[in-house]
Structure 1
Amino acid sequence: MATYVDILKSEFPEIDTEVFEYITGVLDSGGADFEDGEEVYDAIGGLLQGSSADCKNEDDIRDICQLMFDTLKLTGITKKNKPFLPCFSNTHQIRSEPPIQPGLLFDLFSLLSSLSLSSFYSHTLHFQTVDARKLEKAEAKLKQKQGRRNERDSQKTTSPLVLEEASASQASSKKDSRVDLSGKNRSYDIRIENFDVSFGERSLLQGAELSLSTGRRYGLIGRNGLGKTTLLKMLASRSLRVPAHITILHVEQEVAGDDTAALQSVLESDTVREGLLKEERLLNARIANGTAEGMETVRLSEIYAKLEEIEADKAPARVCLCADLCTCFHREFSGGWRMRLALARALFPTNMLDVRAILWLENYLQTWQSTILVVSHDRNFLNAVVTDIIHLHSQRLESYRGDYENFVKTKEDRLKNQQREYEAQFQYREHIQVFIDRFRYNANRAAQVQSKLKLLEKLPELKPLEKETEVTLKFPDNFEKLSPPVLQLDEVEFYYTPDQRLFTKLSVSADLESRICVVGENGAGKSTMLKLLMGELTPVNGIRQAHRNLKIGYFSQHHVDQLDLNVCSVELLLNKFPGRNEEEYRHQLGSYGITGELATRPVASLSGGQKSRVAFAQMTMPCPNFYILDEPTNHLDMETIEALAKALNKFKGGVVLVSHDERLIRLVCKELWVCEHGNVQRVEGGFDEYRDILQEQFRKEGYL
């Protein structure tokens, strides 16, 4: 039986190798979603037309596409004959030290519990042209199919929650599309002009432009809810046109815990290896039951050769992040380790799995050869890493050369110049208008008045500067003082399993004057210690003591998991604290920036930072006198982080804070606790001393 590969070689003997690999890749990876030969023609007909040495006409090409669809149907990989079996004819090599080529787009959110970053990562190797196109085609087809399925399902059942969807549109020329499809575009620069991005009926970007030059490191900043994450999703889904030879892998803003084995989660991210293994299993099954064709045994030999070439059998050993990774599930990891796992999934094909801390990442990314796009709210990280800032505001993107501090200075200078220009033109307009008003009815000055009127019409209309509203947060503190000791752990021992003791002889204390920041590596037990302080966990040995009038407000690093996403913010507070009127709930939410229609939107549709604000509103409504905050800045923009620091400093109760945001630590904390080696130690020199300790550790371990 002839396969579509045989047909392709027979009908187009002089076809270019790269075009051949692209077409076979499309049919391999997208075959499950083709409904008929016409869809095959839509996908590859144009390329076949250009590859025809004997100038086949359109009808000939359509007949050939129908014939290839029939072969797909017979081999069982069309839509009507699942499963979808990806097969990659242009696999790339995975070595322990692969060469790094230009073209990397990289975005992380809350990475390693050390940053407040968003989640978009894309890497490009110069020999991955076909893979990128296959992924793009498969993603588009699957998205359409899922949309049709969702539409059918919605007709059968009524969902209690209907979320708005993001969309993007842009002006593009046929010339650019042809160049992209031809495979002649080898530039790793990205330039997207005149594009719009919307979320539901809300316009996020209008007529925007985005330029990313290869080798530069960009920081995308802006207030919560303006569309940074949505923009990245539009890039990742290719709703905005990114050159086809640049591959994209999206790391979600929220890393949810599930029952997927951590090792398998990372291994599955290498689509080349997984595709080869799936095809190997299918072919072996066909050979075992005697239904295999001659070409399939040849293909199986090719697969074995490729698996050996990429050292597929060594992949599990390369992936292991820790001793227990192979038996752990996603949900069992702390927030920081979940983000490490997401990063491992993103970086696994390039074997970069040793990311341990923000300090290491700063040093590492400073030497990165490729392009980086990172959404971060950590100004110290931005100062250390980025070469350019992209500021999203007022439905547009503005670029600034330099780090974050340079952006602040340049932005202030720009605003001052714009203000001066506006004031000067305003005065000039007033001067002209005074002349017009004075001599409007003077016949002798009629010509001059007309001239002034024309001049006034020609002047460009400058709008007054739109100043961003200042973010304010307030933690209510209408409570009585509590005499020490307020909260303490004395000689506490704790473990989840006896063979792995997490704490031994842990002794710490805090009162209403405390401003304590807890730092330490992911998995060292910071969140566990907080739960011991709150009384959520019971010590195996030792004592927890708390004042009888102590009232703790807790902010979890996984606070989104604790919010009801199916209701609006007002209803969420009503369900949590019934018996008050709507005005009280709205006032509470308004204190944290959730105002107007934001308060009536489903919580699921809010941005990460807006969800954090809802969590703050929920936490503070009972008026606690002591706050325990676990990674509160993960999704907050810089202005809100500054406002949080001011609010905590004004608060009259106690604060224990787990954070890796250097700015927040320096603004708030009076004590620094380091959680490591089964205990908690106070660092007298504060964050500077802790940073020096980390630097020295990395040098000894060879990371710097």
Structure 2
Amino acid sequence: MIDVRDITLMRGGEILLQEASFSVFPGHKVGLIGANGSGKSSLFALFRGEISLDSGDCDIPRGWRLASVKQETPALASSALDYVIDGDKQYRQLQQQLSTAEQQDDGRAIGDLHDQIAQIGGYDIEPRAASLLAGLGFSQAQLQQPVKDFSGGWRMRLNLAQALIARADLLLLDEPTNHLDVDAIYWLEGWLQQYDGTLVIIAHDRDFLDNVTQQIVHIEHKTTRTYTGNYSQFERQRAEQLAQQQASFEKEQTVRKHLQTYIDRFRYKASKAKQAQSRIKALEKLSAQAPLRAQSAIRFEFAEPDKLPNPLVTMRNLQAGYGTTVILKDIKFNLVPGSRIGLLGRNGAGKSTLIKLIAGQLEPQAGELALSTSVKLGYFAQHQLELLDPKASALLHLQRLDARASEQQLRDYIGGFGFSGDAATQAVAPMSGGEKARLVLALIIYQKPNLLLLDEPTNHLDLEMREALVFALQSFTGAMIVVSHDRHLLRSTVDDFYLVADQQVQPFDGDLDSYHQWLQQQAKNPDAAAPSEANSGNADTRKAQKRLEAERRQALKPLKDKVRKLEQQVDKLAGALEQINERLADADIYNEARKAELADVLKQQAQTQQQLSQCEHDWMIAEEELQEQTTDNYADN
């Protein structure tokens, strides 16, 4: 087993780990988690023997073969298939020795080497490599394509395949899902579940960790703690610990109550749609996370948009592509306030093309694309990280957006995204990818968009920031379209899925589990049709249904606004009550000299508690009324 005992690890004069200990047993699948910069990648470098400890011991069994994913890929002329086979170094060594023996006409050596190659599965290595590449999304034609012809993301997939073929005793994977789409992630999960070696994964994809790992090592406060179970089980265990430790548990309970209200609200619909079932599962997970969120430094929400035009976007017979190449055609659907759409489809099918089209980054080849004059677009894509001014700070970026706001107001806002104190005034240039992504999201949210276009928004974000984003998106009242390989984000924030395939964009009648089943059917029968609303009725019926849904949303808007305002009041009063209780926890306030102050604080406590109780009562009444009207609306149809 891997035995880490009382280690101290420093980098650049900074202590990453101090007196940390944990064990990884043979055959176990372990998730290594912690905030960005906490030392996860440094631990991988330690396991690979690339760095040394400052103190302590790290024992890895001698003779263990170790594999990890390269971060760089040379521009080689060799084929993708040969490059992946290079990952099995023992096979390549035996192959070279066999070539030498044949040149020397050494019959005995030739026989022995053929036996050794057979023992390690060398004679089926090409089909195994081809199978890995197919699982990761490569076509048959791409197998013989030179490595140098692939883009950066596809080269990372080649590196991943090279690590998987290595027959390692210890496999180290650092963010393996970052360059994969949902299809490839499902495949990788299945492969890793069958892997019989020892696996340590760094990942910020909670669904991936849930489906693959059986143990979590958490880095926090420069030390490690081990939890049995997957990521969701880790969250529950850690939430219980925090609940016992934190004096502010009352506030955490308020958050739990808030989340439970949503669970109850969606449970009424649980028997009506698979999508509702997925939403309930996600919200039940969020309930266990409330104490974790209560202590998080990352806190933000979307402000109410100034206007919500209906429709926001109209698309009729749209065609999109590049040059003379058609990627999508006959796109027909509208975006109205409350639309929450997730795009599904294989890599390269056109999901990002659709986002770019609506964002105005791509001109339509044909058809009509009409955006309301009141649309305020919030567009997130990875290339926007490069558009940040490298010399400017997070604070300065905000000041350029709103010169009238005070510095303190902007500091308060940007602090909710983790840019507090000196971090707010540091230049963008040395920031990590995660910090830049946080800043781009902060700039988008500050402008109060009513239409969000999010293309892989969680790339580079750690788990804490991902959870904060999920929580904020759940209360966003505008329309949004999301492309993401983070299935937890999709399950928690999206109401409808659209499948992008065969140059079409069609409603997908199902959830992510249905999509996974469809992918499996596609692998067996490429001509299988997707479950789609297009197969369940004619165009006039679908149009009428969409119009009725829009009318229902518009009718419910005043009540939804009331519920949201009451929620905000409850949160504000709960925070005020917590501050009052903190003042009363100060022993000095009970001194005779502060008798008048004590009386005043006690009065404030009573008044605030009364206001909070009344506000919570009004909120619950409004929630029940909203639920009744929502249920009645659906019953009428």
1-side partners of 2:166 and 2:326: how far apart?
35
- The verdict on how the C-alpha distance between 1:265 and 1:560 changes in structure 2, with shifts beyond 3 A counting, is farther
Asked whether the equivalents of residues 225 and 610 of structure 1 are also in contact (C-alpha less than 8 Å), the reply is: no
- In structure 2, distance between residues paired with 1:515 and 1:244: 52
- Alpha carbons of structure 1 residues 497 and 567: separation in structure 2 relative to 1, 3 Å: same
Aligned equivalent of 1:90:
none
Task: Name the SS of the counterpart of 1:322 in structure 2.
Answer: coil
Is the CA contact (8 Å cut-off) linking 1:366 and 1:385 kept in structure 2?
Answer: yes
1:346 alignment counterpart: 163
For 2:69, the equivalent position in structure 1 comes to 251
Q: Is the 8 A contact 2:394 2:439 kept in 1?
A: no
Change in Cα spacing, 1:555 to 1:312, as seen in structure 2 (3 Å) is same
411, 416, 420: which one aligns with 1:595:
420
Return closer, same or farther for 1:344/1:366 CA change in 2, 3 Å cut-off: closer
Alignment correspondent of 1:492: 318
Match of 1:570 among 366, 369, 394: 394
- Tell me the equivalent position of 2:445: 620
In structure 2, the partner of 1:105 is none
Contact 1:673 1:681 in 2 (8 A): yes
Read off the aligned partner of 2:445 and give its amino acid letter.
T
**CA distance 1:468–1:380, shift in 2 (3 Å):** same
- Quote the offset at 1:374 in angstroms: 1.3
Larger Rg: 1 or 2?
1
- Aligned equivalent of 2:197, options 370, 374, 398: 370
1:346-389 per-position Cα deviation (integer Å, ceiling 9, x unaligned): 22445999995332333332222111111233333322221111
Q: Work out the CA distance in 2 between the residues paired with 1:419 and 1:591.
A: 21
CA distance 1:511–1:236, change in 2 (3 Å): farther
Q: What is the deviation of 1:487?
A: 1.7
Secondary structure of the structure 1 residue equivalent to 2:218: strand
Q: Which amino acid aligns with 2:12?
A: G
Q: How far, CA to CA, are the matches of 2:157 and 2:319 in structure 1?
A: 28
1:662-681 paired onto structure 2 within 5 Å: 662-681=487-506
CA distance in 1, matches of 2:513, 2:126: 41
> Corresponding residue for 2:17?
205
Q: Aligned partners of 2:214, 2:466: CA distance in 1, in Å?
A: 23
Distance 1:418 1:472 in 2: 21
2:464 alignment partner in structure 1: 639
SS at match of 1:196: strand
- One-letter amino acid of the counterpart of residue 164, structure 2: L
**Higher relative contact order, chain-length normalized (CA < 8 Å, sep 6+):** 1
2:216 equivalent among 383, 389, 405: 389
* C-alpha contact 2:394 2:427 (8 A) present in aligned 1: no
- Per the TM alignment, residue 521 of structure 1 is displaced from its structure 2 partner at its CA by 2.0
Question: Deviation string for 1:139-165 (max 9, x for gaps)?
Answer: xxxxxxxxxxxxxxxxxxxxxxxxxxx
SS at match of 2:452: strand
1:270-285 pair list within 5 angstroms? none
Contact 2:298 2:416 in 1 (8 A): no
Matched residue type, 1:393: E
Q: Which residue of 2 aligns with 1:99?
A: none
Residue type matched to 1:395 in 2? K
Q: How does 1:65-144 map to 2 (within 5 A)?
A: none
Partner Cα separation in structure 2 for residue 300 and residue 599 of structure 1: 69
1:258 & 1:693 partners in 2: Cα distance? 36
Matching of residues 502-517 of structure 1 within 5 Å = 502-517=327-342
Give, as a single letter, the amino acid of the residue that structure 1 aligns with 2:192.
Answer: L
Q: 1:274 to 1:363 in 2, by over 3 A?
A: closer
Distance 2:480 2:30 in 1: 34
SS at match of 1:652: coil
**Deviation sequence 1:39-95 (CA, Å, 0-9, x none):** xxxxxxxxxxxxxxxxxxxxxxxxxxxxxxxxxxxxxxxxxxxxxxxxxxxxxxxxx
Q: Distance in 2 between matches of 1:521 and 1:221?
A: 28
The alpha-carbon deviation at position 469 of structure 1 amounts to: 2.8
Residue 689 (1) aligns with residue 514 (2)? yes
Q: Distance in 1 between matches of 2:96 and 2:410?
A: 53
Aligned ranges 1:259-270 → 2 under 5 Å: 263=80, 266=84
Partner of 1:406: 233
Counterpart-to-counterpart distance in 1, 2:105 and 2:447:
66
Deviations 1:656-698 (A, max 9, x none): 1112323222221121112122112212333343344335445
Find the aligned partners of 1:259 and 1:624 in 2 and give their Cα distance.
Answer: 45
User: Which secondary structure does the structure 2 equivalent of 1:472 belong to?
Assistant: coil
| Alignment partner, residue 33 of structure 2 | 221
User: Which residue of 2 is the match for residue 67 of structure 1?
Assistant: none
Kept after mapping to 2: 8 A contact 1:555/1:615: yes
The equivalent of 2:44 in structure 1 is: 232
Deviations 1:277-328 (A, max 9, x none): 99999x9xxxxxxxxxxx9x9699999x989966799699846832453447
Instruction: Go from structure 1 to structure 2 and tell me whether the alpha carbon gap of 1:576 and 1:196 turns closer, same or farther (over 3 Å shift).
Output: farther
2:147 matches 1:322: no
In the alignment, structure 2 segments of 5+ residues that lack a partner are 53-57, 248-291, 527-637
Q: Distance in 1 between matches of 2:399 and 2:70?
A: 29
> In 2, distance between residues paired with 1:313 and 1:364?
16
Tell me, in whole angstroms, the C-alpha distance in 2 between the residues paired with 1:667 and 1:330: 39
Mapped contact 1:487–1:509 kept (Cα < 8 A): yes
Deviation of 1:591 (Å): 3.1
3-state DSSP class of the match of 1:357?
Answer: helix
Report deviation, 1:575.
10
CA distance in 2, matches of 1:507, 1:598: 45
CA distance in 1, matches of 2:160, 2:293: 38
| Contact residue 328 and residue 504 of structure 2 kept, 8 A | yes
Cα distance in 2 between the residues matched to 1:419 and 1:476: 29
Distance 1:324 1:665 in 2: 32
Residue 249 of structure 1 and its aligned partner are, at CA, apart by 4.3
**Counterpart contact for 1:225–1:606, Cα < 8 Å:** no
- The residue number in structure 1 matching 2:187 is 360
Cα distance in 2, alignment partners of residues 692 and 225 from structure 1 = 37
Letter in 1 for 2:487: E
Assess, with a 3 A threshold, how the Cα gap between structure 1 residues 368 and 684 changes in structure 2: closer, same or farther. same
Query: Contact 2:98–2:113 at 8 Å: present in 1 too?
Result: no
Does the 8 Å contact 2:399/2:410 carry over to 1? no
1:649-668 matched pairs, under 5 angstroms: 649-668=474-493
* Match of residue 481 from structure 1: 308
- Tell me the distance in 2 between the aligned counterparts of 1:651 and 1:476: 8
C-alpha separation in 1, matches of 2:148 and 2:302: 34
Q: Which amino acid aligns with 2:139?
A: C
Q: Which residue of 2 aligns with 1:611?
A: 436
CA distance in 2, matches of 1:700, 1:364: 21
- 1:413-452 equivalences under 5 Å are 413-415=240-242
The equivalent of 1:629 in structure 2 is 454
Matched residue SS, 1:193? strand
- Partner AA of 2:340 in structure 1: R
Unaligned runs of 5+ in 1: 1-188, 284-294, 421-464
Give the partner amino acid of 1:212: V
Alpha-carbon distance in 2 for matches of 1:641, 1:665: 11
Q: Deviations over 1:606-665 (max 9, x none)?
A: 444333212212433444332111111233333322321222233332211112323222
* Distance in 1 between residues matched to 2:27 and 2:363, nearest whole Å: 51
Could you state the TM-score of these two structures normalised by the residue count of structure 2? 0.59
